[in-house]
Amino acid sequence: MNDNYRINCSIDSLKLINIINQKSDICLNDKEYIMSTDSRFIQKNDIFIALKGRYSDGHNFLSQAFNNGASVAIISEKKIFEESNFPLILVQDTFVALSKISEYNFKDIKSLKIAITGSVGKTTTKDYLKNVLSYYEPTFAAPESFNNELGIALSKAKISKLDKYAIFEVGMNMKNEISNLSKLINPDIAIITNIGEAHIGNLGSKKNIAIEKSNIIDGMSNNGIVLLPRDSDYFEFLQKKALAKNLRLITFGYSNKSDIQISKITRDKGRVFVEFRVFGKVFEAYSNMQNISIINNYLPVLGIAHILNYDLNEVLKNIIKSNVHKSRWQEFDFELDKGHVKLIDDTYNASPTSMFEAIRSVDEYEADQIFRKIIIIGDMLELGDFNEKYHSDLVNLINKTNIDHVYFCGDYLSSLFGMVSSKKKKKHFRSVKNIQSIDEFELAGGDLIFIKGGNKIGLNNLVQEFINYLALT
């Protein structure tokens, strides 16, 4: 049962209609109800909120909601209200109604609120942070992809009074979106993981992206704390905005000027040895994670743990043993008659920053049983006028690596197929649908297979085909 869209609410009918500023003759008992925005997960006596989205309209699923046991539905379509026999509460805007219910729950919440934004690493950082903080205290973290206005409204409605910490992920697709979301959260602590190229097609430049990411500060009080990437080209800009609001500033990165620093990193027999410095104190750890960009996500987590006075040696152990990498550099091992095969699933997204770092990590990957490296990568999306530049840069990077086989999937990369070095075995597909069989990749024992691409490319489906194929081979 997916309960991400279900909200606990102890409420009677009078209180409900007062919260959403509506009149209604619906009579509910004074008890705990579940409100849900997804008709598929409605259970007996739930309240269904019919939201209108870009791709679907909850009003089309009223019958399903009531068949599943809904006691009442909140809707905004007057015609349906007048013609239907279902118990309904009519509002002008169902999302506004949900927001009011969310605010009603949130007003009594005393949790320390942490908001995370950035071009890459938001979700991974959030998941690491949740795992660490929940070891010590009850902790809420917004579910995956709940990083827009709807997601934050649902998250605010789900936080318990028992939660000492509440972690939000803040995304964006357009200007001013982060500022508005920050004001909905009012974070006590904010993290900007980095400034990359994600959504550059919409915003036009990395400077504009930096401006938007900096707006996470807008909803913070003057005594808040912000963690910033010291290595960013836009650090001084971010710093200036933080100091203008009298925020406490903590920096992280490789730079010696960072408060929290990766001071040393080496590979040792398939593991990565990392030395961290946290305000001058040294901490060491071995990690099996060979994607250095993901290890970078340890830094703001260590920063938060330092603020809260937790034992950083213990925190590092909890981070390293965390398994938070769903579709983000998730490794699968198969022992076959023909030898060992390793599959790496990194299909969650593919911005230039994450793609370039991932390719470098594959190139540097060490393991005794790996003899050949194969990459299957898809187009990077939402780059607008920067499509050719970043895809060309990607091909040039690949040509400098020791990666053996290169497979492209998508229109942009296929058009640059001729740029790939003749020293590499190569092939391209316009789409995943054009891949007829796993046999096209000519797998052998000792192969490392790395798969990455934008969400819409559909390479996550190819990962599952590889898993099924290798499990049966």
pLDDT digits (tens, 9 = 90+) for 92-139: 899 988 888 888 888 888 999 999 999 888 999 999 999 999 999 999
**In what side-by-side order are the strands of the sheet with 425-429?**
330-336, 339-345, 447-452, 372-378, 405-409, 425-429
Q: What is the pLDDT of residue 107?
A: 84
Q: Which two tokens stand for residue 179?
A: 């500022």
- Compute CA distances 397 → 231, 360, 374, 420, 451, whole Å: 21, 8, 15, 10, 16
CB atoms closer than 10 angstroms to residue 473: 12
pLDDT band, residue 12 (cuts 50/70/90):
low
Rounded Cα distance between 243 and 385, Å, is: 34
Q: Given the structure tokens 């830094």, which residue do they identify?
A: 299
Rounded Cα distance between 287 and 274, Å, is: 8
Rounded Cα distance between 282 and 136, Å, is: 23
Amino acid found at 128: Y
Beta-carbon contacts of 97 under 8 Å, excluding residues fewer than 6 positions away, are: 20, 22, 49, 74, 91
Q: What is the pTM of this model?
A: 0.87
Torsion angles phi and psi, residue 76, rounded to 5: -125, 5
pLDDT band, residue 32 (cuts 50/70/90):
low
Rounded Cα distance between 33 and 450, Å, is: 46
Residue-range domains of the chain with CATH: 6-98 (3.40.1390.10), 109-320 (3.40.1190.10), 330-472 (3.90.190.20)
pLDDT digits (tens, 9 = 90+) for 365-388: 988 788 899 999 999 988 888 999
pLDDT over 70 at 459, yes or no:
yes
Identify the CA nearest to 239 among candidates 252, 251, 254: 251
pLDDT band, residue 15 (cuts 50/70/90):
low
As beta bridge partners, residue 253 has 261
pLDDT over 80 at 324, yes or no:
no
Our CA angle for 382, 356, 296, nearest 5°, is: 105
pLDDT digits (tens, 9 = 90+) for 280-293: 999 999 888 888 88
Identify the CA nearest to 320 among candidates 336, 302, 333, 308: 302
pLDDT over 70 at 24, yes or no:
no
Q: What is the pLDDT of residue 26?
A: 60
Q: Dihedral angle at the C-alpha atoms of 97, 100, 102, 108, nearest 10 degrees?
A: -160
Average pLDDT over the chain, rounded to an integer? 88
Element (H, E) at 7: strand 6-11
**Who has greater pLDDT, 1 or 339?**
339
